[in-house]
């Protein structure tokens, strides 16, 4: 089944490892006819933006999703990142366990979606910390 995408002017996305940008002044309609990693700009975190623990976890899973033919280095980095996180924030363990299950099944995009919950938790904790100062 084909994936239909509307790409807004100047919007970027990753399709199969390639960064694509709509250089036109109007929206572009794309149809992806085979199974390749696809990430819209709003779902992409650049390396410079991976400046917190949970954002680094997300970035690592993003690399795994994009570079699925070379999973081992990314999986090793992921494991190194989540072990201290599990110790420091035990309430994240159920979400991390779900991410682990998705990664183990090769469902990297689903793991990436779950990793957004880690970022949301981290941002909420940061917000509460700033509010109490």
**Any idea which residue has 């199974």 for tokens?**
35
Interval 23-50 mean pLDDT? 94
Sorted by where each begins, the domain ranges of the chain are 3-43, 47-131
| pLDDT score at 129 | 80
pTM: 0.90
Closest CA relative to residue 52, chosen from 132, 107, 127, 106: 127
**Weakest mean pLDDT among 34-38, 56-60, 78-82, 112-116:** 34-38
Mean pLDDT of the chain: 94
Q: 88 pLDDT exceeds 70?
A: yes
Residue 90, classed as helix, strand or coil, is helix
| Token pair belonging to 88 | 């420091």
Helices (H), the chain: 53-66, 71-88, 93-104, 108-131
| pLDDT score at 1 | 78
Interval 4-24 mean pLDDT? 93
Residue 48 parent element (H or E): none
**pLDDT 10s digits, 62-73:** 999 999 889 999
| pLDDT score at 45 | 95
71-80 long-range Cβ contacts below 8 angstroms, 24+ apart:
75/103, 78/103
| pLDDT score at 126 | 85
Question: φ and ψ at 5, to 5 degrees?
Answer: -130, 140
Q: 133 pLDDT exceeds 80?
A: no
Closest CA relative to residue 36, chosen from 61, 79, 74, 69: 69
């Amino acid at each position: 089944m084909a994936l239909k995408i509307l790409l807004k002017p100047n919007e970027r996305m990753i399709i199969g490892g390639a960064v694509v940008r709509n250089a036109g002044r109007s929206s572009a309609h794309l149809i992806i006819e085979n199974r390749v990693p696809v990430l819209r700009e709003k779902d992409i975190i650049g390396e410079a933006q991976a400046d917190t623990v949970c954002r680094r976890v997300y970035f690592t899973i993003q690399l795994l999703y994009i570079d699925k033919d070379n999973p081992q280095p990314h999986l090793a980095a992921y494991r190194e990142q989540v072990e201290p996180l599990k110790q420091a924030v035990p309430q994240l363990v159920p979400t991390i366990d779900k991410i682990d299950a998705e990664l183990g099944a090769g469902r990297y995009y689903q793991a990436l979606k779950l990793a957004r919950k880690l970022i949301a938790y981290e941002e909420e904790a940061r917000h509460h910390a700033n509010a109490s100062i």
